[in-house]
Structure 1
């Protein structure tokens, strides 16, 4: 038994010494592209361009995938006033869906503005936020353009909803807000 234990111990020592890494020999990689990927730079030389090096940007006037359309009004007071005066909805009356607008309004707007647009949402009632005006306030001359601009960029303590709502959804919410405003003014 002692002899068998000695042989096992000797074999273990020999295996451990022989398995140590030899820095002089080359190691093999199993899938070397996983360790050393081929990377491309945006401004590297390319055969795709006549000059060899050019900024690889999309052609002027193109619209990226996903239906994103550029919004021409800036996030400034002048941009807000310009949108308020000139921006109109691209949707006609057959495309407006008040039920869909209500769903989106309840999810994104109703928590602060209230379900009727009177500025009495749950957060206002619990005094988590203050100063949310009603859509029917006499001092607020809101228009289609101003509603869309505020949804897109936000205003005062309201943040932007441009990332949460796509363009069509924003216009549905605008139509629903205008409906709420008309109901409050009756």
Structure 2
């Protein structure tokens, strides 16, 4: 009798399990977009934008957050204009700013220009770079140093991504102080 109950129980379980599965009618999907998302290819046209081709552009005349416009162009004429007209906006420099400017100079400039500004930095003494000028031999002012830090000059690259405008002015002031000591 026990075996009859076991066989009946197994048959009922088999019928119950097989009745739930129907290949012609799949089960309901809750939130089908989660299971089958719409994928987009990079740079493909989309109906999400007005013109169908490119994303929404910022309004004309706007600038990026944190960006400070610099009106001198990256050319020799722009360098000369910056040298003539550009003055530091820093009225007074505190002791804390002097320490910060020395720290920034040591991090970004001393490797090539040397800690005294004599053009004998570690990379120059090792022969990695040649022709790094001493500040003593150059006719420079704070405006020209700021311009060179912003755009770069010859083999020196721009430091506008590493230093913000205030930090570049601090370094420019420190460079002029080093030049005075030479």
Hey, what does 1:4 align to over in structure 2? none
Corresponding residue for residue 152 of structure 1:
150
TM-score of the aligned structures, taking structure 1 as reference length: 0.69
TM-score by length of 2: 0.71
- 1:6-32 deviation digits (Å, cap 9, x = unpaired): xxxxxxxxxxxxxxxx79969958662
Looking at structure 1, the residues matched to 87 and 139 of structure 2 have their Cα atoms a distance apart, in angstroms, of 15
| Structure 1 unaligned blocks of 5 or more | 1-21, 47-54
Structure 2: distance between partners of 1:118 and 1:29: 72
How far is the alpha carbon of 1:93 from its aligned partner? 1.4
Structure with greater Cα Rg = 2
Distance in 2 of aligned mates of 1:112 and 1:63 = 34
Residue 116 of structure 1: how far off its partner (Å): 0.5
Corresponding residue for residue 70 of structure 1? 69
Structure 2 residue ranges without an equivalent (≥5): 1-22
- Alpha-carbon distance in 2 for matches of 1:30, 1:129: 62
In the TM superposition, what is the alpha-carbon distance from 1:166 to its structure 2 partner?
A: 0.7
Which piece of structure 1 moves more, 26-35 or 79-88?
26-35
- Two-structure CA RMSD over aligned residues (Å): 3.4
Q: Distance in 1 between matches of 2:101 and 2:118?
A: 17
Q: How does 1:101-116 map to 2 (within 5 A)?
A: 101-116=101-116
Which 4+ residue blocks in structure 1 deviate beyond 4 angstroms? 22-31, 37-41
The match for 1:98 is: 98
Looking at structure 1, the residues matched to 176 and 149 of structure 2 have their Cα atoms a distance apart, in angstroms, of: 13
